[in-house]
Amino acid sequence: MTHLITSLTNEQKQKVWKTIKDKTIAVIGYGNQGRSQALNMHDSGLNVIVGNVRDSYAELAEKDGFKVYSIAEAAKKADVLFILIPDEVQPEVFEKDINKNMKENSTVVFASGYNYFYGLVNIPEKTNVLMIAPRMIGFGIRDLFLKGQGFPALIAVGKDYTNDAEDQLLALTDAIGVFKPNGVAIWSSFREETLVDLLTEHSWAGALLYIFRAYYEVATELGASPEAVILELYASGELEEIARSMKEQGLFKQLKNHSRTSQYGQLTRGPKYADEKIKEIIRNEAMDILNGAFAKEWTLERQAGFIHFNKLYELATEHPMEKEEEKLYKILGRIK
C-alpha cells in the first residue's frame, strides 16, 4: 500500500465496498462535519441514520430526511459509528451513551486523532477503530462532493478486530468523497494526525495572530493609521489570495506573483522568524503534544470551567486594535 491514495480501481472498490454496503452507518453529531459526511455517504448509497441530542442540529437532520435517534439508540442500531461531535465532549458521551450500547464487531470512526491517541475514550474491546480526518471544513466537504471533487484526508486503522478494518476504512473514505478527482487519502496514524493538527495551532497559526498584533503596535506607533494597517494585514483579502497561490503553485513558487522588491524583502527578512531559537520553541511544543502535557493542561482547564481561557479571550479582545477593527468593519458593512 502506497502512502498516498488518489483513487481505487474498480476491482478494489468491489472488494472494499462489500464490507460496508449492507451496514447501518450512524453519524453521531450533525454539525460542521456530521451533516456533510452524512449527506455524502447517503448519496453514495449507504444506509445512514443520525444520532443526536434534541437540539437544532437534530431538527436540521430531520429536515434533510434522516431518521434521527438518541445517541444511545443510534449506537445500538449501528454497525459503523462516525463520531462527529466536538472532541471535548466525546469522552463523556462515549461513557454515558455509546460504550455500553455498541454491538460487538462494530466500527468506530473518528475525524481526529486526539481522543484515541491520548486514551481519553473508553471503547469496547470487540470493535474496530478507524480514523478519517478530513483536511477540509464541513461545508467544503459537501460543496466539493456536489461539484464532483475530492478533498484530502488523513486515514488510519487504530484497531482491526474483524480483520477487514482496512477495507472498511477505504470504502468509507470513498463514500465520503475523498477519492473523487483532486482528492487524496494519506495513510497516517492517530499520533501523526494529533501532532500535525495541534502543532499547526501551537506554532504558526497562533504566532500569526500575535505577530499581526505586534506589527500593528509598531506601525501605529510610527504614525500609520489603524485602518491602513488592518487592511494591509488581513482585511483586504490579499492573504486569502496568497494562501490560494501557496495551495496551487507552492510555498515559495508563489513568490513570483509578488513584486521583486517584495520577493527580496521576504527572502532576506523572513528567515529571522525561523532561526534556531524559534525552531526550539516549535520542538518544545511538539514534545508537549506528544508527551500529553498539552492535553492534560486542556483537560484541567475545562474541568476548572475555562477560567484562564476566558481571561485570555478577554485580554485579546480588549486590545485597541479590536476597537479599530470594529469601526472599520462597520464602515465596510461587514458587521452591523
Q: Output the smallest distance, CB 225 to ligand NAI, in A.
A: 35
Nearest to 198 by CA among 60, 291, 65, 62: 291
**Distance (Å, rounded) from C-alpha 114 to C-alpha 191?**
8
Question: Closest CB to ligand NAI among 123 and 230?
Answer: 123
Nearer to ligand NAI, 92 or 104 (CB): 92
Query: What is the nearest approach in angstroms of ligand NAI to the Cβ of residue 277?
Result: 31
Decide if 128 contacts 156 (C-beta within 8 A). no
Q: How near is the Cβ of 114 to ligand NAI at its closest, in Å? A: 7
By beta-carbon proximity to ligand NAI, the closer residue of 17 and 190 is: 190
CB of 9 to ligand NAI, least distance (A): 27
Residue nearest to ligand NAI (CB): 31
Q: How far apart are CA 310 and CA 320, in angstroms?
A: 18
DSSP symbols for 321-336: HHHHHHHHHHHTTS--
Q: Which is nearer to ligand NAI, 74 or 255 (CB)?
A: 74
How many other C-beta atoms can be found within 10 angstroms of the C-beta atom of residue 179? 20
CA R_g for the chain: 23
Shortest distance (Å) from residue 305 CB to ligand NAI = 15
**CB-nearer residue toward ligand NAI: 124 or 140:** 140
29's grid cell? 453529531
Rounded-to-integer distance, Cα 94 and Cα 59, Å: 22
- By beta-carbon proximity to ligand NAI, the closer residue of 33 and 107 is 33
The minimum distance between CB 50 and ligand NAI, in angstroms, equals 8
Cβ neighbours, 10 Å, residue 161: 16
Residues at the contact surface with ligand NAI, assessed by CB under 6 A? 29-34, 52-53, 55, 57, 84-87, 89, 93, 111-112, 133-134, 137-138
Grid cell digits, residue 143: 460543496
What's the min distance (Å) between Cβ of 6 and ligand NAI?
A: 20
Closest CB to ligand NAI among 17 and 57? 57
* Residue 120 amino acid letter: L
Quickly list H helices, the chain: 10-17, 32-43, 56-63, 71-77, 90-93, 114-117, 138-146, 165-176, 190-200, 206-221, 226-230, 238-249, 260-269, 276-290, 293-303, 307-318, 320-331
Residue nearer to ligand NAI on the CB measure, 137 or 335: 137
Give CA–CA dist 37/28, Å, rounded. Answer: 11
Shortest approach of ligand NAI to residue 85 CB, angstroms? Answer: 4
